[in-house]
Amino acid sequence: MTVHDKFLALGTHFGKVYLLDIQGNVTQKFEIASLKLSFTYLCSMFCCPLQMLTNLKLMKYTSVLHEGEGNITNVKWTANLIAWANNVGVKIYDICSKQRITNVLRDNASLRPDMYPCSLCWKDNTTLIIGWGSSVKICVVKERDPTQMRDLPSRYVEIVSAFETEFFISGLAPLADQLVTLYYVKENSEHVEEEFRTRPRLDIIQPLAEGCEEISSDALTVRNFQENQCRDYRLEHSEGESLFYIVSPKDIVVAKERDQDDHIDWLLEKKKYEEALMAAEISFKNIKRHDKIGMAFINHLVERGDYDAAARKCQKVLGKNMDLWENEVYRFKTIGQLKAISQYLPRGDLRLRPAIYEMILHEFLKTDYEGFATLIREWPGELYNNMAIVQAVNEHLKKDPTNSMLLTTLAELYTYDQRYDRALEIYLKLRHKDVYQLIHKHNLFSSIKDKIVLLMDFDKEKAVDMLLDNEDKISMDKVVEELKDRSELLHVYLHKLFKRDHHKGQKYHERQISLYAEFDRPNLLPFLRESMHCPLEKALEICQQRHFVEETVFLLSRMGNCRRALQMIMEELADVDKAIEFAKEQDDRELWEDLISYSIDKPPFITGLLNNIGTHVDPILLIHRIKEGMEIPNLRDSLVKILQDYNLQILLREGCKKILVADSLSLLQRMHRTQKRGVRVDEENICESCHTPILPSDTAQAFGVVVFHCRHMFHKECLPSPGNVRIQYCNICSAKRRGPGSGILEMKK
């Protein structure tokens, strides 16, 4: 057999030649001879004008190219190069130079050349691939350097790759940078000593420098392969169509490169639908047969019972085809799996008919309140008839009126329908956390003016923050009026208002005194300290009624009655530390006298005074007034502390004195250095009195200039008392203070 780009020529043992098209259909038939045809005859008919038996002739020139080395078994011609094989090896002939340029010897001489013929193929016009026995050689024809030619041919052959294969080679063909190899396979049996023949193999290999890598392998099924020899197989190829023809005595097998459709066929056959779908998406431009892989995958998943996966795949497979979507929804309804597909339905710009969504919602409402609520939250309200769903929910609430999930969902439906008042009522009834979000989002402040108590009962903190943040919509006075009968809630509101702004609610400060006293005493004293609008008499009255000593002490001191405040601390609180702290804050000598007088007969008070009085009052005043023989706890430690404090004060004073003296000396030295520096006087300076240049135009004449340390300059004659007085004052600076110009520099020439 030989192959042309447009037809095939096939010769049989009975002397017939058939012409076939690329698909294998017979187009012509020739009776050539009554004996079998060889490959060499077909080659001479359709490939090249050669005669071959034991010699090779180029018919155009009727010249013998080669003879005398046995039968010629294979010939391949490309451009100006002819390659042929005989019993010895492979020769390459250059038609242009009319020279044989190489002889590649066969490697395994033990193999009979008639049983294991040589396979040849040209990969391109300069690359010849030789397969003989189990060895492969890749030869490249190259141009010889003119300086090295001498009597040698202009071209030479370099073997760029040579390697052994596992089986015997029956044919070779190029495939891009790879090789298609047809192998004759013999294997040993475990039960029979003789070798047996298996099916031929068609492999794709990647040639390497010293070996090869197997890319793919296929065993071919041909008739009578058990009886065939290596010489009974041939491999031909069509370069234009990338078709490969495997010729055996009884069959011709056509092979071609697998395309993406073939790959997808294999994946589908193996039920690898997801991989097939991915392959189709990647190579969608090159696919010719497969356009329903996705539906096949969905059907497979449904048949397997994996409804969620099938529904999930609908998004990718069905895409924007709304008809297919509706068909799938009805199919899932038929098999009772609407829940599975519900979360994957289109809900953006492309939508199904409202009836489809309503059908699914009704299904959930019958069997799954939670799933129904989830869909209502996730689906836009425009997908379905809102009123129809509201009516259906109300029907279910008649049977279960306290179902919080249904009520919450109904509130959301009212919100979608912009019936916010109805939604707000339900949220408040349920004490739902979204009530505040609903108010803010839809500006429902006008609807909550009479529901402030309900909001405060639900969540005081959130309610107060919302009311304070929106005073322009609900006034402070309106809130106070609504809360007048709920004092504890009113206190929470006014307390947060005061924390935000001490002056905004000043008209309620008097009322807040009672509220703090009743509900929040810990914050009463901070309130009294920070409020500038609190009536002190009213506050004092309330605190005295409730016996709030600390608050009363603060109010007395603020009203100027510090002695009474100190008396309460000492008599009612009996807390010497607080009494001392109070005296320190007021820094009043009379208070210290009162504190000493009160403490003089109380040893614990005396100890406290001794430990803290040293930095404010002379401890001797206290010590002289202590009665002789009185036992005072920890007296020795207190006296030691007084002495230590005194020593510390002395050390601090001495340290400060040293620092002050050092700083004074340093500053004096710096001033002295500064005043000793020269002062630049040039034509740009002027007299501060006459405002003319300080230097005369003719410097050859005698002149006098007075420069003060303040940098003011005068002509000597411009000063009020020029004379011979050496110490003068700057007229400008002395008007402000005496001193900056107290010293002068006099420059004379």
Among candidates 513, 39, 451, which has minimal Cα distance to 231?
Answer: 39
DSSP symbol at 465: H
Q: Are 514 and 524 in contact (CB under 8 A)?
A: no
Q: What's the pTM?
A: 0.43
3-state SS class at 171: strand
The DSSP element (H or E) to which 141 belongs, if any, is strand 135-143
632: number of Cβ within 10 Å: 16
CA distance 31 to 16: 5
3-state SS class at 612: helix
Mean pLDDT, the chain, as a whole number? 79
Among candidates 602, 596, 604, which has minimal Cα distance to 620?
Answer: 596
Highest mean pLDDT range out of 49-53, 269-273, 363-367, 420-424? Answer: 363-367
344: number of Cβ within 10 Å: 18
Give 59's pLDDT tier (boundaries 50, 70, 90): low
CA distance 41 to 75: 11
Helix pair 420-430, 404-416: axis angle to 10 deg: 160
DSSP strands (E only) in 168-317: 168-175, 178-184, 186-188, 195-197, 201-207, 212-219, 234-238, 243-247, 252-256
Predicted local confidence at residue 275, as pLDDT? 65
Quote the percentage of the chain above a pLDDT of 90: 6
| Tens digits of residue pLDDT in 460-504 | 888 888 888 888 888 888 888 888 889 998 999 899 988 988 888
Whether the pLDDT of residue 694 is over 80: the answer is yes
- Point out which residues pair with 138 in neighbouring strands: 129, 161
Sign of the CA dihedral running 268, 274, 278, 281 = positive
- Residues whose CB is less than 8 angstroms from the CB of residue 448 and which lie 6 or more positions away in sequence, other chains included: 424, 439, 455, 474
- The CA-atom distances, in angstroms, between 200 and each of 113, 121, 252, 557 are 19, 19, 13, 115
Q: Are 572 and 598 in contact (CB under 8 A)?
A: no
Among candidates 10, 44, 43, which has minimal Cα distance to 24?
Answer: 10
Torsion of CA 551, 555, 560, 564, to 10 degrees: -40
The DSSP element (H or E) to which 515 belongs, if any, is helix 509-519
DSSP strands (E only) in 71-112: 74-78, 81-85, 89-94, 99-105
Q: Are 486 and 456 in contact (CB under 8 A)?
A: yes
Phi-psi category of 194—alpha, beta or left, where left has phi over 0 and alpha has psi -120 to 50? beta
Predicted local confidence at residue 50, as pLDDT? 41
Q: Are 709 and 715 in contact (CB under 8 A)?
A: no
| Tens digits of residue pLDDT in 286-323 | 555 545 666 777 777 777 777 887 787 777 777 777 88
Whether the pLDDT of residue 668 is over 90: the answer is yes
CA distance 555 to 529: 9
Predicted local confidence at residue 686, as pLDDT? 92
Q: Alpha helix (H) ranges present in 151-284?
A: 260-269, 273-282
CA distance 430 to 610: 65
| Tens digits of residue pLDDT in 554-588 | 888 888 888 788 778 777 777 777 877 777 777 77
* φ, ψ for residue 461, nearest 5 deg: -65, -50
Mean pLDDT of 251-262: 78
CB neighbour burial string for 205-225, b if at least 16 within 10 angstroms, e if fewer: bebeeeebeeeeeeebebeeb
3-state SS class at 695: coil
Residue 362, judged by CB atoms within 10 A of its CB (0-12, 13-18, 19+), counts as middle
Q: Are 416 and 383 in contact (CB under 8 A)?
A: no
Predicted local confidence at residue 726, as pLDDT? 56
Predicted local confidence at residue 660, as pLDDT? 93
Q: Are 56 and 44 in contact (CB under 8 A)?
A: no
Q: Which amino acid is at 719?
A: L
- The CA-atom distances, in angstroms, between 285 and each of 248, 264, 290, 412, 464 are 37, 14, 11, 47, 64
DSSP strands (E only) in 534-615: none
Q: Are 162 and 135 in contact (CB under 8 A)?
A: yes
Q: Are 143 and 159 in contact (CB under 8 A)?
A: no
Predicted local confidence at residue 62, as pLDDT? 59
Q: Are 704 and 717 in contact (CB under 8 A)?
A: yes
Question: How much helix, strand and coil, in percent to the nearest 5, is found in the chain?
Answer: 45, 20, 35
DSSP symbol at 431: T
Whether the pLDDT of residue 390 is over 60: the answer is yes
Least confident interval from 257-261, 554-558, 594-598, 610-614: 610-614
CA distance 417 to 387: 8
Mean pLDDT of 735-740: 55
